[in-house]
Amino acid sequence: MYKELALIAPTASGKTAVSINLAHKLNAVILSLDSLAVYKYIDIASAKPSLEERDGIIHFGVDNVLPNQQFDVIEFIDEYKRAKEYAIQHDKNLIIVGGTGFYLKALVDGLSVTPKISIDTVNKVQQKLLNLDDAYQELNQVDSNYMKNISKNDKYRIEKALSIYTQTGMSPTDFFNFNQPKPIIINNINIYEIKTEVDVLRKRIEKRTIQMINNGIIDEVIYLEKEFTREPSCMGSIGIYETLDYLDGKINKDQLKEQIFIHTSQLAKRQRTFNKSQFKNIYAYSLENIEKKILSMV
């Protein structure tokens, strides 16, 4: 019978090795939960497993698009469907693994539906946004409960709310009540997390940072900039952004290492916070024990 499980943890927690070992033992393919691994040529910055490290395990969510092509949560959901279809057709299971918890949340909870906005609505909304305070007050009269969590200066969210109201004639609250998100993963999925002490994780991040520099992150970023410019959003990712500063002469090599380490540590903290707040009933085990625990539960 086809099975799915998810393995999440902050960056540098040791997920890759565990997931590949599990894939062999559970006859599974892997879907990567990594928003950077989807890009071709971003190998060192993303710390994606090499072909050798994948050890013959089929991976989805890796090397899907060029750095100047779009890939967001919608494309990720499509990739999940492809991975699931492949697994079922080939009598395999699926392990979803990575640090981008938002992608997993989209699978578990679904995405909020938004209406298709017409050109006429866009024009009307842009005209109203010329006076942001009036636009906010109009929405506050229509839907005070929804607007209480939106700042009077938050133009982006005011625009989104105004677009929904102008297009549909419904308050944002009513619209979302009538258009509840539908989970992509219909059956319950066990979510496992690698539990790592902060000081241990920081040492692992420091080690990975040194490996990134030694493995050629500078040459990788030089190539990426030459081929794809600095415009794509992925060029602002950790590891790439700091290396561009180094190439611009803003920081030296020691500062490059320090900046990547600091920003990766901050990312790991955000990932831990997100996972803790967004997922319920997570099975958390140490790196040393998690493989054995998962095998005993599936």
**Using CA atoms, how far apart are residues 126 and 139, in angstroms rounded to an integer?**
15
For residues 184 and 110, the answer to whether their CB atoms sit within 8 Å is yes
**pLDDT above 90 as % of the chain:** 93
Q: Over the range 138-165, which residues count as b (16 or more CB within 10 Å of their CB) and which as e?
A: bbbebbeebbeebeeeeeebbbbbbbbb
Q: Candidates 1.10.20, 1.10.10, 1.20.120, 3.30.300; correct CATH number of 119-178?
A: 1.10.20
What's the pLDDT tens digit per position in 137-166?
Answer: 999 999 999 999 899 999 989 999 999 999
Instruction: Kindly compute the dihedral angle of the four CA atoms of residues 96, 102, 106, 109, in this order, to the nearest 10 degrees.
Output: 100
Contacts of 122 (CB under 8 A, 6+ apart): 163
Mean pLDDT of the chain: 95
What's the pLDDT tens digit per position in 22-67?
Answer: 999 999 999 999 999 999 999 999 999 999 999 999 999 999 999 9
What's the pLDDT tens digit per position in 121-134?
Answer: 999 999 999 999 99
**Using CA atoms, how far apart are residues 12 and 212, in angstroms rounded to an integer?**
12
pLDDT at residue 188 tops 90: no
CATH code of 4-110+183-297, in short, is 3.40.50.300
Amino acid 149: pLDDT: 87
Retrieve residue 26's tokens: 């559970």
pLDDT at residue 265 tops 90: yes
Confidence bin at 298 (pLDDT 50/70/90): confident
* 4-110+183-297 and 119-178 agree in CATH topology: no
The pTM score is: 0.84
